[in-house]
């Protein structure tokens, strides 16, 4: 027996109404969801996850130590502030510094004067003319001394010898034994390294340009003392990064006008360039897309202005894409030659 069409529609309507009532009983929030529209809060994680993420550029920093060296700030602090400022342009993937042997042994004038004052105080303490208010503390073993020279002799005779023994054991060890020794001596060697910075043993221990920059995360490469050796090595490294497309933004820390051609080559390859140096009217700053002085880097002004510069770069790229260019040869191919 066939049911008429009207009865089938009535049965379907009854079945659908019963089904929806059961769903509402099982999930009462379904009705609220249909009546109201919930939006995630601005500070919630959902709002952050749904927001479109802008692609972040890879940044490479190239530092010409022979030409641009901050004299008012210690090298470690200068390198850290440089990296923090440049990180506003994108993710810092490379931070390389080039210098010859003469530059790597550079000691600032303030440190040299501090050493002279310390030597004079040591002589006065040895003669008994002055006495320190608080005793000198050895940061390795904790012993106290009322004479700085006695502290230095103690550090050399005991802790420096122990440190050299550890280095000899690490050099002779291999495999698993070397890994065990590294784990066993890691804390002691770090403690010795921190204590040696405060004790005036030699200029390289108290102040070393290469060690301070490495401590800040800079990869320092020392070249020969031949003329233009640093410029040649730095230029080759920058060209290699551009050829392999490892960075979308190049930061050059230098005042040497010999790098103008490298910055122009980067602009032809659509790579953004930033120049950092002390010369206010230099050739590099006229060619680069953005320019900052060391004072702006160290005072934090460059970090504040970097997001505005990146926004201008994006607007400029969008306008270039939208720019209309007349190509008569293409028009002839499409519309044919005019009669």
pLDDT at 50 over 50: no
| pLDDT at residue 242 in the model | 92
pLDDT for the residue 49 = 46
The predicted model scores a pTM of 0.56
Query: Which pLDDT score, from 0 to 100, does residue 320 have?
Result: 67
Tens of pLDDT, residues 2-23: 455 556 566 666 655 555 545 4
For residue 325, pLDDT over 80 is answered with no
Q: What is the pLDDT of residues 92-138, one digit of tens each?
A: 888 999 988 776 666 666 667 777 887 888 888 888 888 888 888 88
Q: Does the pLDDT value for residue 240 go beyond 90?
A: yes
Q: Three-state SS across the chain? A: CCCCHHHHHHHHHHHHHHHHHHHHHHCCHHHHHHHCCCCCCCCCHHHHHHCCCCCCCEEEEEEECCCCCCCCCCHHHHHHHHHHHHCCCCEEEEEEEEEEHHHHCCCCHHHHHHHHHHHHHHHHHHHCCCCCCCCEECCCCCCEECCHHHHHHHHHHHHHHHHHHHHHHHHHCCHHHHHHHHHHHHHHHHHHHHHHHHCCCCHHHHCCHHHHHHHCCCEEEEECCCCCHHHHHHHHHHHHHHHCCCCCEEEEECCCHHHHHHHHHHHHCCCEEEEECCCCCCHHHHHCCEEECHHHHHCCHHHHHHHHHHHHHHHHHHHHHHCCCCCHHHHHHHHCCCC
Residue with the bigger pLDDT between 47 and 284: it is 284
For the segment 182-233, what is each residue's pLDDT rounded down to a tens digit?
A: 899 988 888 888 887 777 544 444 456 777 888 888 888 888 878 788 889 9
Average pLDDT, the chain: 77
Report percent pLDDT > 90 for the chain. 9
259-289: per-residue pLDDT in tens? 999 999 998 898 889 988 887 667 888 888 8
pLDDT digits (tens, 9 = 90+) for 53-63: 445 688 999 99
């Amino acid at each position: 027996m066939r049911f008429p069409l009207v009865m089938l529609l009535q049965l379907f309507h009854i079945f659908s109404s019963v089904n929806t009532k059961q769903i509402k009983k099982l999930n009462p929030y379904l009705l609220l969801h249909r009546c109201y529209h919930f939006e995630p809060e601005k500070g919630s994680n959902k709002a952050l996850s749904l927001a479109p993420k802008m692609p972040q550029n890879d940044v490479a920093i190239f530092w010409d130590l022979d030409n641009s060296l901050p004299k008012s700030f210690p090298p470690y602090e200068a390198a850290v502030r440089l990296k923090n400022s440049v990180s506003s342009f994108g993710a810092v993937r490379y931070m390389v510094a080039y210098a010859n042997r003469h530059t790597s042994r550079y000691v600032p004038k303030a440190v040299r004067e501090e050493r002279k004052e310390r030597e004079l105080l040591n002589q006065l303490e040895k003669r008994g003319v002055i006495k320190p208010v608080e005793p000198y503390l050895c940061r390795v073993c904790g012993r106290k001394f009322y004479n700085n020279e006695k502290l230095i002799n103690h550090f050399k005779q005991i802790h420096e010898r122990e440190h050299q023994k550890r280095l000899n054991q690490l050099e002779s060890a291999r495999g698993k034994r070397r890994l065990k020794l590294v784990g066993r001596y890691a804390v002691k060697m770090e403690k010795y390294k921190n204590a040696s910075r405060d004790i005036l043993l030699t200029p390289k221990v108290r102040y070393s340009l290469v060690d301070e920059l490495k401590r800040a995360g800079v990869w320092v490469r020392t070249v020969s003392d031949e003329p233009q050796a640093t410029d040649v090595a730095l230029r080759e490294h920058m060209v290699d990064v551009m050829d392999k497309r490892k960075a979308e933004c190049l930061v050059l820390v230098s005042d040497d006008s010999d790098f103008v051609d490298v910055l122009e080559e980067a602009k032809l390859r659509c790579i953004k360039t930033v120049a950092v140096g002390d010369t206010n009217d230099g050739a590099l700053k006229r060619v680069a897309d953005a320019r900052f002085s060391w004072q702006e880097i160290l005072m934090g002004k460059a970090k504040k202005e970097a997001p505005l510069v990146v926004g201008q770069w994006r607007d400029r790229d969008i306008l270039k894409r939208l720019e209309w260019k007349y190509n008569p040869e293409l028009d002839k191919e499409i519309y044919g030659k005019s009669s």
